[in-house]
Structure 1
């Protein structure tokens, strides 16, 4: 399958038409307005959306990722990776992850990291099959919903 990998940024029609609907399958709390607010803020923080398109122009998968300098070395952090439900188990997600790996190497990263929800067994199988290891626990502390007036409201994930 000839896939075309395309970076999609704020203001591009494909962000709302292609990226947002796929992200909504993974993050149902992100309606169109919340996704647009999230995408704009996250882009300013370095987030890049890379979309995988088939030869017919259909968006089959999307990954949101960024390069971070950390005390553990430079890494690519994958915020989200989602394949359209009808395109799963066709190799698209693996090809997208391979593209991210190539980009991470070119960016001088020492590894790719991501979080996967503890209940998402299918994703765990996918990542394990691609030789990714569980190397840490990710802890979270929910905070009260108090925000400063200039901070936009984004949905909790």
Structure 2
């Protein structure tokens, strides 16, 4: 049986709360449901795309959030989040979604796909290296919290 192609989900679509939000919250447990909902609306308005991958039974098994950015290094498809339901890991779901993102990058005339990955997330690093991604930079951050 052929799997359906990944599909974009927008804020206001019932699938955002039912399918996308639970997987993103699994990746980002510090977010509450209300915070996710506010984030989804604001980030979507800034160009963030939410793409969901489904299995043959219609269950959401992976989600990617991404956007095309014009940078001084060329156009890039930047992946903010890529998460596979833990029950479906190592089954090719993430690889299928990643291939979909790479095709979207080519169609958008991007020079590459970029993402950040936590320095201790070794399983993700192995996944990305298997997709021929290279470590090309360090992402540095400065917290500037209120007060």
TM-score range, shorter chain: over 0.9
Report the secondary structure of 2:132's partner residue.
coil
Report the secondary structure of 2:109's partner residue.
coil
Report the secondary structure of 2:26's partner residue.
helix
Task: Give RMSD over aligned pairs.
Answer: 0.9
Q: Structure 1 regions of 5+ residues with no counterpart?
A: 147-157
Q: Normalized against structure 2, the TM-score is what?
A: 0.97
Deviation by residue 1:62-121 (Cα, 9 ceiling, x = unmatched):
000000000000000000000000000000000000000001000000000000000100
Aligned 1:44-83 pairs, distance under 5 A = 44-83=45-84
Moved over 3 A (4+): none
- Structure 2 CA distance for aligned equivalents of residues 38 and 77 of structure 1: 17
Partner of 1:103: 104
Q: Structure 2 regions of 5+ residues with no counterpart?
A: none
- Structure 2 CA distance for aligned equivalents of residues 145 and 10 of structure 1: 28
Instruction: Kindly indicate whether residue 123 of structure 2 is the aligned counterpart of residue 122 of structure 1.
Output: yes
Checking the alignment, whether the CA contact within 8 Å between 1:4 and 1:54 is kept in structure 2 is: no
1:29 is displaced (CA, Å) by 1.2
* Larger RCO: 1 or 2 (CA < 8 Å, sep 6+): 1
1:55 is displaced (CA, Å) by 1.5
